[in-house]
Amino acid sequence: MLYFKLNTLRIEIINSSNFIQIVYFPKPELSQYLSESSKENFLETVNRQSANEKIMGLINSRSDFIDEMKHYKFLMNNIPVDMDKLFTYMRLIALLCAFMINFLLLFDKFTV
């Protein structure tokens, strides 16, 4: 059960008898690289007047989603994990430099 929950997606459509029908389909591997902000933005802006409009909105956004997911996958596979630690250290160094500059400015102001 857990396998299907993690590896399938669903969409709800209204069939020809005007009943809601749930369609399940396999989750593409690339979909794990789609950002939460893109998902939320799509959900907020998609036209929901009909099931066809909703599906057309998804189809029209497809190329943007694919580009984002491929780019994020490329970054995750080609940037070393230690890069995150490097950015943390660089932020710390920048903060220390900012404190030092402010200290020197205050020291200069009171010594004149």
The pLDDT tens digits for 1-60 are 788 888 898 888 777 888 888 888 898 888 888 888 988 888 888 887 876 787 788 888
Do 99 and 74 belong together in one domain? no
Q: How far is CA 77 from CA 20, 35, 64, in A?
A: 40, 16, 20
Counting the structural domains of the chain, the total is 2
Please give the residue range of the domain that contains residue 28. 2-79
Do 35 and 45 belong together in one domain? yes
Do 45 and 65 belong together in one domain? yes
Do 90 and 103 belong together in one domain? yes
Do 73 and 105 belong together in one domain? no
Do 88 and 65 belong together in one domain? no
Q: Is 49 left (phi over 0), alpha (psi -120 to 50) or beta?
A: alpha
Q: Model pTM?
A: 0.53
Do 57 and 87 belong together in one domain? no
